[in-house]
Chains A and B, each alone.
Chain A
Amino acid sequence: MSDVVLRCAELTKRYRAGFWGRRIDALRGVTFEVERGEIFGFLGVNGAGKTTTFKILVGLLFATSGRAEIFGVPAGAIEAKRRLGFLPESPYFYEYLTGRELLDYVGRLFGLSRGENRRRGGELLERLGLGKAADTALRRYSKGMLQRVGVAQALMGDPDLLILDEPMTGLDPLGRKELRDFIGSLRERGKTVVFSTHVLPDVELLCDRVAILRDGRIHDVGPLGRLVSARILSTEIVVDGEPPELLARLGGLDAQARGGQLVVVVAKDGSVDVALSKIAAAGGRIVQVTPRRETLEDVFVRATSAAVEDSPSAGGDGGA
């Protein structure tokens, strides 16, 4: 049996907008797969096509061409939806409902019995820190609470695949950490999670694989270890001492004073040993030596700035 949970093949989406029916190509042949048990990050600048891809996968949009499958059935089919949980971007819920009532409504759409509905809803609200607000109307919820109840409703059907569009939006650092831990715990329960975010450190902490979407196309997809190379970009040496005097004695090194210390940056092709000897000879006390490796942010910035340079200047095409 194939372990592919989600498959997109040459997915395109074209809109017509405005009075003259201007053509907008939101997706231009998106192809990727997600395997069972993975936590998959979906990255891209605003308008790259992340939300459009997700909406096709959950049946809110129809692809212009190409194929999207979830568990081997076409995206949007009831059999696919039964095994899927979805959190939309900046979710809006019925503000006249309480958190408990919302989950009860969603549970009934999944055909849960009354008892199961109550048990699962209560459990999720507790796990997501909303136990005390369960009977409060959603109109009184903060943005972070709405985000959490959004995750809860996505989990009501006990889905095998969870698609979360910008789940970290509106959460404070503590809320973000809690949600990150929660998503991590889903992996332990064998769930597959696909999520989009702009918070790259979260992706680095959570994801097994990532896809970078650029201008409606997949720019790169793979395990984090492959996308982010292990090579050292530069080395930062922090030196204690009198900065003005040391600076004068460290000619030839890229150094600058920062908070009563001196920070020396050795480029990737420079010799750290030589720099360390020079600093020691000049009487500087070395406090810290930190090699700076490539981060996901570097990869992302490189990919997306290329998108800006490559993007067509006119002609009506653009991301959505």
Chain B
Amino acid sequence: MRAGVAIFAVAHNTFREAIRDKVLYGIVFFGVLGLAGTYVLSELASYESARVVRDLALAGSNLLAILVAIVLGVTLLHKEVDRRTAYAILPKPLHRWQFVIGKFCGMAATLIALCVLLAGVVEALLRTQASTIDGPTAVALVLSLLEVLVVTAVAVTLSCWTRPFLSGLLTAGIFILGRSAEEIGALAARAEGPMRLVFDALHKGLPNLYLFQVSGWEVAGKRVSIHGTFVDWAYVASAATYAGLCIVGALAIAVLLFRRRDFV
């Protein structure tokens, strides 16, 4: 109970920090402006403009949320140490693991709020095409949020290990490789010798972000699309379980890295 109170206090403060951060507002403002640009593109499309808006708005909002997750995630703990604000907080009756988990939870709350805002923008854009967020689009938005949370956990973990620039690059690299997990798996099956080991390690060691972006691909032998037959909520539940495991694994590493750290 007491552990939860401390985690909530850290999370609340992290959320408060994010929503008072002018840099975040700048990124979101220009991101939303970019999303609004899909309306212009849809006007240029000769047919199925609603489909164009749906595709571009979903992809744009996902990339914007991923960008914010990386930028905020890699600086999350580094800022506390660099600005020495953690020096006054860590001596309080609080375990270091509670601090790391609290920071992540605050960041997750911020990103959930951001994704809700972006979903609102997607809905507004769809309405310009006399459409709305339907079942498959809602599922796609939830899967996108799960992916964002996994990327955040990776960013937080790397920020415990190295400086923001490098951890940003590494997180972006993991994001790209994670999205290509199926292709890497196929390469592992075809490759031989040491390359097979490398591809296999990448396929099994990195989070499989492909699971969260399945529209236009095959799932269980069937092609799925947000414009037709898409994955159901049972699939979302299994993806959420997988995301949860990835987050727990990443945060466990983050806690281990942070636990014995000297604050010189």
Contacts and interface: CB of A to CB of B under 8 A. Distances in A.
Interface in A84-117: 84, 86-88, 91-94, 96-97, 101, 105-106, 108-111
A308 interface: no
A86 B263 CA distance: 15
Contacts of B13: 94, 97, 105
Contacts of A82: 93
B79 to A, nearest CB: 10
A97 B260 CA distance: 29
A94 B85 contact: yes
Interface residues of B, number: 28
A31 B88 CA distance: 25
A110 B5 CA distance: 9
A61 B92 contact: no
Contacts, number: 82
B88 A109 contact: no
A153 B88 contact: yes
Given A109-B92, A110-B93, A157-B92, A92 B264 contact: no
A111 B2 contact: yes
A105 B6 CA distance: 9
Nearest to A94: B85
B16 A58 contact: no
B261 to A, nearest CB: 9
A96 B263 contact: no
B9 A60 contact: no
B87 A91 contact: yes
B262 A96 contact: no
A199 to B, nearest CB: 22
A109 B83 contact: no
Nearest to A86: B91
Contacts of A96: 16-17, 20-21
A191 B264 CA distance: 28
Interface of B: 2, 5-6, 8-10, 12-13, 16-17, 20-21, 83-85, 87-95, 260, 262-264
27 contacts: A15-B264, A59-B90, A59-B91, A61-B262, A61-B264, A62-B262, A81-B91, A81-B92, A84-B91, A86-B88, A88-B87, A91-B87, A92-B84, A96-B16, A101-B16, A105-B13, A106-B89, A108-B6, A108-B8, A109-B9, A109-B92, A110-B93, A111-B2, A111-B6, A111-B93, A153-B88, A320-B264
For the complex of A and B, the 4 pairs showing the least CB-CB separation, nearest first, are A58-B91, A108-B9, A60-B263, A86-B91
